[in-house]
Amino acid sequence: MRILMTGSSGWLGQTLVPRLRQDGHRVFGLDPVPSAMTDIVGSIADRDTVRRVVGDNGIEAIIHAGALHKPHIATRTPTDFVAVNVQGTLNLLEEAVAPGSTVGRFVMTSTTSLMISREVRAGRDGGAREAAWMTENAAPLQPRNIYGVTKYAAENLCRLHHELYGLAVVVLRTGRFFPEEDDMAHAISQSDENTKANELLFRRATVEDMAEAHVAALARAPELRFDNFIIAPRTPFARADCAELIADAPAVVRRYFPEYPAIYARLGWTMFQSIDRVYDSTRAYERMGFACRTGFAEKLAALGQ
């Protein structure tokens, strides 16, 4: 397939572009930042660029990962967020359904972050009595920052273009997969690897798994027509664990992974005392046949060797 991938110079793009090329696809990378994965240096906010790239290259599928996201909240204005995440997405969708377009499928990289309200984020310290069990049906959505608000708007534009024009669209609400250290690691005196291992329990996946989720969505888009999936490792937890996850997460983790305390003790690692949300990726498994390969169990097995 001839695929346009936006955000090709980014962290996901570096893994996903070669992965798609390995499958024999012709990938056209579009990003304002030059890199080996990017063929067209430009912005999705520039309608002429989008029109040219989609029209001139016989694009059949768009994977839309280009965005301003959480790290940019401190450095970019809300207007920039709207220009890139909302208008940029609209530009791509409108060119995808324009007369003569050859685009038949569209995969949008969204974020689980748009499901997290201030209340959920405040967790136990904010008075939560149980962890929030998050599915795609979580409602009402009250994103807590401009990143979430603009991603939610972009998701809605995708839905609308499916409804109005029949474009096959799959939205992937991905959990975190960034490689940088999180501020939280310092706040709770944990090493970065310790923090990331803990997060595999409920909110993080590897970039390789995220790339595979996009490959699956691209393949299944024509049958799915429109769908929205949380992408995170299959959770080991049950809804009945939610109260205890907030109050005493290590006790819950010990029940499912009795070997974890010894492995963690040997490494000098600690578990989070409280887990505030669980992302349930059952729908992606049931409807798209996708499951992450690496979760906490696999990490623990590797650490235990």
Where on the chain is the footprint of ligand NAD (CB under 6 A)? 6-7, 9-13, 30-33, 43-45, 65-69, 84, 88, 109, 111, 174, 176-178
Q: How far is the CB of 113 from ligand NAD (least distance, A)?
A: 6
Taking the least distance from each CB to ligand NAD, the nearer of 171 and 246 is 171
Report the SS3 class of residue 122.
helix
- Phi-psi category of residue 151: left, alpha or beta, with phi > 0 → left and psi -120 to 50 → alpha: alpha
Q: Which two tokens stand for residue 139?
A: 């409602």
CB 54 within 8 A of CB 45: no
Taking the least distance from each CB to ligand NAD, the nearer of 45 and 62 is 45
Taking the least distance from each CB to ligand NAD, the nearer of 209 and 241 is 209
Report the SS3 class of residue 133.
strand
Distance of alpha carbon 172 from alpha carbon 213, whole angstroms? 8
Distance of alpha carbon 170 from alpha carbon 165, whole angstroms? 15
Q: How far is the CB of 265 from ligand NAD (least distance, A)?
A: 29
Taking the least distance from each CB to ligand NAD, the nearer of 182 and 248 is 182
Q: How far is the CB of 184 from ligand NAD (least distance, A)?
A: 13
CB 49 within 8 A of CB 43: yes
Taking the least distance from each CB to ligand NAD, the nearer of 41 and 303 is 41
Taking the least distance from each CB to ligand NAD, the nearer of 7 and 233 is 7
Q: How far is the CB of 110 from ligand NAD (least distance, A)?
A: 7
Report which of 130, 132, 134 is spatially closest to residue 230, judged by C-alpha positions.
134
CB 118 within 8 A of CB 189: no
Taking the least distance from each CB to ligand NAD, the nearer of 38 and 194 is 38
Q: How far is the CB of 185 from ligand NAD (least distance, A)?
A: 14
* Nearest residue (beta carbon) to ligand NAD: 10
CB 106 within 8 A of CB 62: yes
Q: How far is the CB of 153 from ligand NAD (least distance, A)?
A: 13
Quick one: DSSP state of residue 182? P
Q: How far is the CB of 169 from ligand NAD (least distance, A)?
A: 15
Place of tokens 């579009």: 30
Q: How many beta carbons lie within 10 A of that of residue 270, not counting itself?
A: 16
Distance of alpha carbon 13 from alpha carbon 17, whole angstroms? 5
